[in-house]
Structures are given as C-alpha cells and as structure tokens.
C-alpha cells in the first residue's frame, strides 16, 4: 500500500425551526427558553398513554431540502421506533425513520466533485442532560426536556468525500442551502447543526471499501471539522503503515490540543430494534402534495449566482457574503433592479454593502440604501501621491497581512484597505485603493 486514499462519509443533523415540535404542539425554541422544562407536554415528556402526531410542516421542509439536494422522494414513507436507553430519551425509543426515509439518492456539488446523498430522514431530538454541582456540594444530573421532540433531520452521504477540505466544503455548502431555504438556523455552537464524519483509508487502487471505519463526533465548527479529519487521516495512515488496522470506534475531537480521542468502541452494529411506529399511520406523498411543496421551493442558489453574474457581473464569492435566506435573496433582487434603474453599478454597490456589513440591511428602505451608497461613493479628493504614501506606510506596518496576501489569502486585501481608510481618515474607493495596493505589493 503505497498510496493512500481517505474514504469519508458524513452524517449531519440539523434541527428544523418549525413553530411547534415534531410530534406535539409544544413551542420549538429550545435555545432561547427562559427556563428548563417549560416547553413540554405529555407527548414530549413521554408520559404513559401519550401519542405522537406528526408535524406536517417539518415533513414538507424535509422534502423541500431533499428537492434542493436533487433527491428522489419516497411516495410512501413512515416513522419507525429506534430503541435505546438514555436518560434524555423519555420513551426508551426515538421516533425516527428506518427503511423509508422521505428523501434518497441526491447529491450536492463541491469544487472537488459531486457528493452523493444517500438519504435524508426526519426524527425527533432528545432532551438535554445537565451535570452539575449544587450549592450543597451534591453532584446531580438534570434533564431539560425543552429540546425533547424538536424536529431533527439527518442528511447522510455516500462515502464520496476524499479529503478534509472537501468535507469542510460539503458541510459549508449544505449549511448554505439549509440557511437559504430558511428551515433551520444551523447554530453549531448550540447544537442546532451537528457534524459527524466516518473516516477510513484505503489503498488508491482498491475498489472495495475498507473493513473498518472511525466515527468522528462532537465537532462544532467547519474549521474543526477540517482539522479533525486531517488529524484522523494522519493517525490512521500511521497505523496502516505499521501493517495494523485502525480500531472501529467513535472518536471525539479536542480543539485545544487538536487531536482526536477514543470515546466508544463499536465492535458490532447496535441492535436498535427498529419497527414501524404503530401510533403514526404511514405517510403517502401524493403527486399533488409534492407539487405543492415544489411550488414553495425558491430559485436554486447556483442559478441565482449565475443569473447575477450574467446580469450584474457579480462574483459568487463576494455576493454570497451578503445574504443567507431566500427572503434576503428576494430583497437583493429587488434592490439590484432598483439600483440599476437608478443607474447605480450593482457590482460596486455590492462591494460597498459587503464592507459596510450593515446588520439591518434587510430592514432598510431600498431608496435609503441607494442614497447612502451614493453619498459614500463620492470619494473625498485625495492626491494620488498622498494616497500612495499612506498605502506604503500601511504596508510597512502590516507585514503579516502582506505576507498572507502573497500566500494567496485574498481577503487580506480587505484588511489592508480598512487600514488605509483609517489612516486617510476619509472614505475611499475600494477598487481604486485595492488596485494600488496590489501594484505596490508585487
């Protein structure tokens, strides 16, 4: 085995932001609840005799995501019970989907190639365990059921991902699509989006999948995902080079030390005793329902970017910094055509808006935005020589940023521009200044 090839598949959980929970009418707002256990009822507490009623909106959103990810939709779907014991799971089983998920056979593009999506299914989140020491010194475990029963989707890929950077790009693209559809906030800090990667390594020429896999869990940022996978690839390579096989297990990631560590050995597949939940009748997704859902599907992100490129010469890398949801996209569409009518160059307007980083852009009147822009873009007169001097000074004082730029970190230019503006104490034209900076650096 001289040449190694990482084989990576991802499982990503995302909490949907429907108004109510997955199987009851309780408010779905676990992160901002003022107190524990206030958004609860017999159903999400798993009380005796309580029965689940599936949230139609959550089903529609799952299918919507499936359509956005080029999935096929099962015309007949159902919920299944997945059994395991844990104190935050009050029924002793989680309502999930086993063999008939709502969506299957899709893909998401990355710059390294397509990542096939095996399935997207819908399930319920668990409660949250809190381990703490009381003022009395007693150690206790407390359960907060505000999160119990929150709709949770799981997006599972085929093992198509070949590198840590591709995994990161896949996760970021997925995040972008979900945020764009406005079906989840994907708050990774709080656990609203959870990343898991299954990693193994095979020989380049080997067609078969390796006979082991390591599951990486508890990663709460795209950056850590990349780092953790990179670490894991190196670790496994080392083991394989010694002629051994890495242990099949679940590993966590320690960001401080930048290492992965063993959490749980997984020798056999767990027996969750899945069976169709008799409390929830099977769900038929009719042609007409599906076409209703399709109608709510916004213009695809890639189409948006290429349309804007064509109409306004906007670069995807820049304009994507400006918005996340399709509602915001619609706002921009209106703003851009308004700007065009006002004979404002949209490309410049976008640059201006990206740098301004206005928080309430989407609540601002469009005419006001354009007026502000016009004011700001009347750049104060600055002697070109004087400007050159200022730039030289800034470059001298910010050697690291210059170096970064030379290494290919193009965003360093934004930082340098900011420093120049600070020094000049006046508004400046970004394009003009960045062109000068580039000239002076090279």
* Cβ atoms within 10 Å of 8's Cβ, excluding its own: 25
282 binds another protein (CB under 8 A): no
142 binds another protein (CB under 8 A): no
Q: Which residues of 338-358 are buried (b: 16+ CB within 10 A; e: fewer)?
A: ebeeeebebbebbbbbbeeee
Query: How many CA atoms lie less than 13 Å away from 282 in the CB half-sphere?
Result: 13
- Shortest Å, Cβ 145 to another protein: 11
50 binds another protein (CB under 8 A): yes
Binding residue for another protein (CB under 8 A) from 53, 130, 140, 403? 53
51 binds another protein (CB under 8 A): yes
Query: Per-residue string for binding with another protein, 225-264, x by CB under 8 A?
Result: ----------------------------------------
User: Which residues in 303-427 belong to E strands, given as ranges?
Assistant: none
What tokens does 374 get? 């016009």
54 binds another protein (CB under 8 A): yes
Binding residue for another protein (CB under 8 A) from 6, 9, 30, 52? 52
Give the Cα separation of 365 and 223 in Å (integer): 36
Query: Cβ closer to another protein: 54 or 171?
Result: 54
42 binds another protein (CB under 8 A): yes
Class of residue 363 by CB neighbours under 10 A (exposed 0-12, middle 13-18, buried 19+): exposed
Binding residue for another protein (CB under 8 A) from 36, 191, 276, 300? 276
Phi, psi of 130 (to 5 degrees): -125, 120
Strand partners, 114: 109
- Shortest Å, Cβ 101 to another protein: 17
- Shortest Å, Cβ 78 to another protein: 11
129 binds another protein (CB under 8 A): no
DSSP string, 391-407: HHHHHHHTHHHHHHHHH
- Shortest Å, Cβ 276 to another protein: 8
User: Which residues in 40-177 belong to E strands, given as ranges?
Assistant: 72-73, 76-77, 80-83, 93-96, 103-110, 113-124, 128-133, 139-144, 151-157
280 binds another protein (CB under 8 A): yes
Q: Hey, is 143 helix, strand or coil?
A: strand
The packing angle between helices 326-341 and 366-377, to 10°, is: 60
Residues from 68 through 127 that contact another protein (CB under 8 A): 81, 83, 85, 87, 90-93
149 binds another protein (CB under 8 A): no
278 binds another protein (CB under 8 A): yes
End-to-end CA distance of the chain: 44
- Shortest Å, Cβ 277 to another protein: 8
Query: Cβ closer to another protein: 51 or 239?
Result: 51
Return the DSSP state at 246. Answer: P
- Shortest Å, Cβ 98 to another protein: 10
Total of chain residues touching another protein, rule CB under 8 A: 28
Q: Hey, is 125 helix, strand or coil?
A: coil
Site residues (vs another protein, CB under 8 A): 42, 46-54, 81, 83, 85, 87, 90-93, 269, 271, 273-276, 278-281
């Amino acid at each position: 085995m001289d040449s190694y090839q990482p084989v990576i598949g991802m499982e990503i959980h995302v909490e949907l932001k429907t108004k109510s929970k997955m199987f009851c009418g309780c408010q779905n707002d676990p992160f901002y609840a003022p107190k524990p256990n206030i958004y609860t009822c017999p159903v999400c507490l798993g009380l005796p005799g309580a029965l689940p009623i599936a949230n139609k909106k959550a089903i529609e959103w799952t299918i919507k995501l499936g359509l956005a990810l080029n999935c096929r939709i099962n015309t007949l779907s159902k919920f299944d019970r997945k059994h395991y014991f844990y104190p935050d799971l009050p029924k002793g089983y989680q309502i999930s989907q086993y063999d008939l998920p709502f969506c299957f056979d899709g893909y998401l593009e990355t710059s390294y190639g397509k990542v096939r999506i095996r399935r997207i299914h819908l399930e319920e989140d668990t409660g949250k365990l809190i381990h703490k020491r009381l003022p009395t010194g007693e150690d206790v475990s407390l359960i907060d059921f505000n999160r119990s029963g929150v709709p949770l989707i799981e997006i599972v890929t085929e093992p198509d991902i070949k590198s840590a950077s591709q995994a990161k790009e896949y996760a970021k693209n997925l995040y972008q699509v979900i945020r764009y559809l406005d079906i989840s906030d994907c708050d990774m800090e709080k656990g609203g989006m959870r990343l898991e990667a299954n990693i193994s390594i095979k020989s380049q020429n080997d067609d078969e999948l390796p006979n082991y896999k390591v599951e990486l869990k508890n990663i709460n940022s795209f950056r850590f995902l990349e780092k953790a996978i990179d670490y894991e690839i190196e670790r496994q390579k080392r083991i394989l080079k010694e002629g051994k096989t890495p242990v099949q297990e679940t590993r966590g990631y320690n960001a401080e030390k930048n290492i992965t560590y063993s959490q749980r050995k997984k020798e056999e597949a767990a027996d969750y005793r899945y069976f169709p939940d008799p409390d929830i009748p099977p769900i038929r997704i009719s042609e007409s329902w599906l076409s209703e859902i399709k109608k709510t599907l916004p213009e695809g992100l890639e189409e948006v970017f290429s349309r804007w490129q064509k109409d306004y010469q906007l670069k995807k890398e820049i304009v994507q910094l400006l918005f996340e949801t399709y509602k915001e996209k619609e706002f921009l569409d209106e703003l851009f055509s308004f700007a065009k009518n006002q004979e404002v160059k949209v490309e410049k307007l976008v640059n201006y808006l990206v740098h301004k980083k206005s928080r309430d852009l989407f609540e601002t009147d469009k005419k006001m935005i354009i007026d502000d822009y016009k004011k700001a873009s009347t750049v104060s007169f600055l002697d070109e020589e004087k400007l050159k001097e200022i730039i030289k000074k800034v470059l001298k004082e910010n050697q690291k940023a210059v170096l970064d730029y030379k290494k290919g970190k193009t965003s360093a230019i934004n930082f340098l521009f900011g420093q120049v503006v600070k020094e000049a104490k006046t508004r400046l034209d970004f394009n003009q200044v960045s062109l000068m900076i580039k000239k002076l650096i090279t």
